Amino acid sequence: MGNMSMETKRLVCVGPGVFVDPLVRADLARDVEGAERQWLLLDDKGLRMIGLGPTQMRTLDRLAHAGLIELYAISPRRKMLKLESWKAHLRRVAEDPEFWERPEMRRRWRLACMTV
């Protein structure tokens, strides 16, 4: 691990095998009027803004099913993410490197994987 770059060290595990940069981009937190944004539309652009790709929507569905983030379905295939819940999840996993090793989190993730 001594050769790990600063970029790699900054990544946090948001779900088993899924790593993102916990630093939220400035444009993610503010809307066009400069007001604090509370929800983010999870289209391709929204997913990129939180460090995920278009194929990782299922990860967010599982995190929501496990009660770790808040998603709101605005239509059958369009969802919005409550940004404060995402930021709180990033803080939890960044502060606790063993987060996904705890039996309760493993159990919740397994249940979410079976359901979603």
Q: pLDDT tens, 13-60? A: 888 888 887 765 545 655 555 556 789 999 988 898 888 888 899 999
Q: 3-class DSSP state for residue 18?
A: strand
Q: What are the beta bridge partners of residue 39?
A: 82
CA-CA-CA-CA dihedral for 60, 65, 67, 70, to nearest 10: 50
Full-model pTM: 0.80
- 16: its two tokens: 């088993």
